Chain A
Amino acid sequence: MPLSTQSQADDEQYVLVASMDNARNLSNILKAITFKDHAIFSATPNGLKVTVEDSKCLQANAFIQAEIFQEFTIKEDLVGFQVNLTVLLDCLSIFGGSTVPGVSTALRMCYKGYGYPLTLFLEEGGVVTVCKINTQEPEEPIDFEFCSNNVTNKVILLSESLKEAFSELDMTSEVLQITMSPSQPYFRLSTFGNSGNAHYDYPKDSEMMELFKCTKTQTNRYKMSLLKPSTKALALSCKVSVRTDIRGFLSLQYLVRNDDGQICFVEYYCCPDEEVEEE
């Protein structure tokens, strides 16, 4: 097999080698965070974290644990690089990204280290494509300092119920306002559009609400344009955790199940738009 003809000697030059039988497991989860071209890759022995940022206000992280890969060899504690995510996704679906069961693209991803390109070996039906994507100087991801100790409100919802709300959201509204409160209205999404305003209220005892832990009434607004990309992650996910901290920063964590039933996480952080007077 072409992928196994890689000599042992070749492998030894790489600081990072990661391979999987089905490249869609990687490309799907990367699609959930594709809203800017540049993606920061940080690999540790635990797995791969891919970060995309926008306007220093929004950060999305996809975590692909080492177990998702059939092989995950890393020679350093931390390997970091930056590549163009759109190009990477194009490469991963170079065989057309067929969704027919039984047909999948095998992937072997190798990186020699600073200054080298990211090399992808893709194989489908005995045909191998080798892609080399130039890497860029890795930027330091913004630390949103979102710490679970400072979380004031947290709810976990089945994604299904949020999908409906997000698909109906009034996109003429500049912001999405999220209210979380230990009392009425518990969890509320509001928009303020051209034709009026709309509120979506989720009671805390709904079957859709897996966890409800709100300590303080909080109302924050987030730019709709910033939150829009997160709907891609929502569409893939089965559960979503919505958290806000004291400062009103928003954390959205999506639990995503891949084709093989394994679980990955996608996380979005978003800055609040402005201070809202609490009612």
Chain B
Amino acid sequence: MDCVVTGGNVKVLAKAIHSLSRIGDELYVEPQEDGLALRSVNSSRSAYACFLFAPLFFSRYTVPGGHTFRCKMAIKSVQAVFRSLASLEKTVEKCHIELDEQKNRLTFTLHCKHGLLKTHNLSFQDSESLQAVFDKDSYANVFRSHPRLLVDTVVHFPPSLEEVTVSVSDERMWVRNHVEEEDQSKAMLTELCLASDEFDHFAVQTHNSVTFCLKELRGLLVFAESTGLPISMYFDEPGSPVVLSVTDSVLEGNFVLATLSDDPNKRKNNSRRAHTPPPPPDDFMNDDIDAYLIAMDTSIAPGPSATGPPTTPLAASTCSKQPAAANHRTRLYSEEEEEEEEEETADSAGPPNKKFCSLFFGSVLPPSSQMTTQPVTSQEVLASDSEDDEQ
């Protein structure tokens, strides 16, 4: 890969990397035909983000044809390249990114004012492809607004607050701090109400409320605010991920965040449903049957990006073959299954699902050894097949 970013786009790239650093510790780099994909996922795999920079974003963009190349590296080291974000716009004239597969290094060369040349040679690891599978277009509730609206909303919550709950009606959106049940007596509740006319687009089909982590949203807001791009929010029912995205003609960013499923009865029913028949205890791959909503694509074949705008994502389409309702009912509970296997006699309401851990692809990701040795052709297919078997 060989590409050049100039002018204000250097800052856009830097901001994107900084907002990805709010998600996870590693940056997944994948130069694709349709642009450069930068992705990150958090350690509990409950939050995923992807930026796709189209070839037009760059003043030069060439990828070697014929084979796909993917790598990952510590996001901190890439952040270090763009350390002085504030002065970046003034000092950096051109950024040259070059991937040397032979030498196993990714080189960032910043051409700065006064002829100063900064070269960062970063080492990287080969990586599996990181691909969240989601179909935001099928979501019931869609909103779009200028980032300012969300920034002004989020600013009222303390930095220590982990999660917010977003509820919608036909005319309004409420954003409030999420407080766990046991803390409710002590906690202060903050709720903001946004009228639909504050949004550029406000489409509600189901009156739902979802709870998700604020940290990642803040990360995206920093990016959206600096680029001035409107933020779109897509969500469905509790438990299904919320998708936040920014798009313009040369880039697309998608943040997929797990939401809490806070209805214990529903959850119980759902998990029962998912438990018939109970999965073979030792079959690791079978574990992920329900967690296809976001799945890791371990296949070597170039998988089309689920987030890429030009093509219909293969993974997403695999999902959408199944009835949407089934999608919603049975997604996500791989973790719970595991837990319930362990404590079959435990509280019938199921373990409290406070943490978002592994909601999507916790168990989907095989250990790295398995990753390389196991000839997994396509996980989506595997997932949908077993799903079909079950139902």
List residues of chain A with CB within 8 A of the CB of B87: 164
CA distance A112 to B120 in the complex (A): 56
Verify B76–A195 contact, CB threshold 8 A: yes
B284 → chain A closest CB, angstroms? 32
Q: How far is the CB of B100 from chain A (nearest CB, A)?
A: 12
- Measured CA separation A198–B123 after assembly (Å): 11
A195 touches B80 (CB 8 A): yes
Over the window 183-224 of chain A, the binary record of Cβ atoms lying under 8 Å from chain B Cβ atoms (1 yes, 0 no) is 000000000011111111111011110000000000000000
Q: Is the beta-carbon distance between A195 and B84 smaller than 8 angstroms?
A: no
Which residue in chain B gives the minimum CB-CB distance to A167?
B84
| Any B CB within 8 A of the CB of A53 | no
Q: Tell me if A277 counts as interface (CB < 8 A to partner B).
A: no
Q: When the two chains form the complex, which single residue of B83, B116, B117, B120 contacts A196, counting CB atoms closer than 8 Å?
A: B120
Complex Cα distance, B110 from A165, in Å, reads 12
- Taken together as a complex, chains A and B put the C-alpha atoms of A208 and B84 apart, in Å, by 19
Most chain A CB within a 10 A radius of its CB, from B74, B91, B117: B117
Judged by a CB distance under 8 angstroms, whether B77 is at the interface is: yes
* Cβ of B229 under 8 Å from chain A: no
Q: Which of B83, B91, B114, B119 gathers most chain A CB within 10 Å?
A: B114
Query: How far apart are B370's CB and chain A's nearest CB, in angstroms?
Result: 27
Q: When the two chains form their complex, are residues A164 and B119 in contact, meaning their CB atoms are under 8 A apart? A: no
Q: How far is the CA of A205 from the CA of B83 in the complex (A)?
A: 26
| A267, CB-defined interface residue at 8 Å | no
Which of A195, A201, A206, A208 is packed against the most chain B CB atoms within 10 Å? A195
> Measured between C-beta atoms, what is the minimum distance from A73 to chain B in Å?
46
Which residues on B sit within 8 Å (CB–CB) of A197?
A: 120-121
Question: How many Cβ-Cβ contacts under 8 Å join chain A to chain B?
Answer: 63
Interface string of B222-249 (1 = CB under 8 A from A): 0000000000000000000000000000
Which A residues lie within 8 Å of B80 (CB)?
Answer: 168, 170, 195, 198
A13 interface residue (CB < 8 Å to B): no
| Chain A residues whose C-beta falls within 8 Å of the C-beta of B122 in the assembled complex | 195-196
A203 nearest in chain B by CB position: B115
B114 touches A195 (CB 8 A): no
Q: B156: CB under 8 A from chain A?
A: no
- A207 touching B105, Cβ below 8 Å: no
Cβ-defined contact, A208 with B121, below 8 A: no
Give min CB distance, B74 to chain A, whole Å. 6
Report how many residues on chain A are interfacial, defined by Cβ distance under 8 Å.
Answer: 21
Identify the closest chain A residue to B82 (Cβ): A168
Contact status of A198 and B115, CB under 8 A, knowing A164-B84, A164-B87: no
The answer on a CB contact under 8 Å between A195 and B123 is yes
A195 CA to B106 CA in the complex, in Å? 11
Decide: A161 and B116 in contact? CB cutoff 8 A: yes
Interface of chain A, helix or strand or loop or mixed?
Answer: mixed
Give the CA-CA distance A89 to B114 in the complex, in Å: 38
Q: How far is the CA of A170 from the CA of B108 in the complex (A)?
A: 15
Find chain A residues with CB under 8 A from B74 CB.
194-195
Interface contact B116-A198, CB-CB below 8 Å: no
A208 pairs with B116, CB closer than 8 A = yes
The minimal Cβ–Cβ distance linking A71 to chain B, given in whole angstroms, is 43
Please give, as numbers and ranges, the residues of chain B lying within 8 Å of A208 by CB-CB distance: 114-116
A200 to B73, CA, bound (A): 22
Q: How far is the CA of A167 from the CA of B105 in the complex (A)?
A: 24
Determine the residue in chain B with the shortest Cβ distance to A190: B119
Cα(A168)–Cα(B83), bound, Å: 6
CA distance in complex: A135, B83 (Å): 44
Instruction: Provide the residues of chain A in CB contact with B118, threshold 8 Å.
Output: 165, 168, 198-201
Measured between beta carbons, the chain A residues less than 8 angstroms from B120 are: 196-198
Cα A203 to Cα B76 with chains together (Å) = 28
Q: Does B117 lie within 8 Å of A200, measured CB to CB?
A: yes
Closest chain B residue, CB of each to CB of A164:
B84
Looking at the assembled complex, report how far the CB atom of B348 sits from the nearest CB atom of chain A, in whole angstroms.
49
Q: Is A198 a contact partner of B117 (Cβ separation < 8 A)? A: no
Please name all residues of chain B whose beta carbon is closer than 8 Å to the beta carbon of A201 when the two chains form the complex: 116-119
Question: Of residues 69 to 83 in B, which have CB atoms within 8 Å of A's CB atoms?
Answer: 73-74, 76-77, 80, 83
Interface residues of B (CB under 8 A from A): 73-74, 76-77, 80, 83-84, 87, 91, 105, 114-123
* A/B interface sample: 10 pairs, CB < 8 A: A165-B116, A168-B80, A168-B118, A195-B76, A196-B122, A196-B123, A197-B120, A198-B118, A206-B114, A208-B114
- Ranked nearest first, the 3 interchain pairs of A and B with the lowest CB-CB distance are A195-B77, A203-B115, A196-B122
> B-contacting residues of A (Cβ < 8 Å)?
161, 164-165, 167-168, 170, 193-203, 205-208
Known pairs A165-B118, A199-B117, A207-B114; list 13 more (Cβ under 8 Å): A164-B116, A167-B83, A168-B80, A170-B80, A195-B77, A195-B123, A196-B121, A198-B118, A198-B121, A200-B117, A201-B117, A201-B118, A208-B115
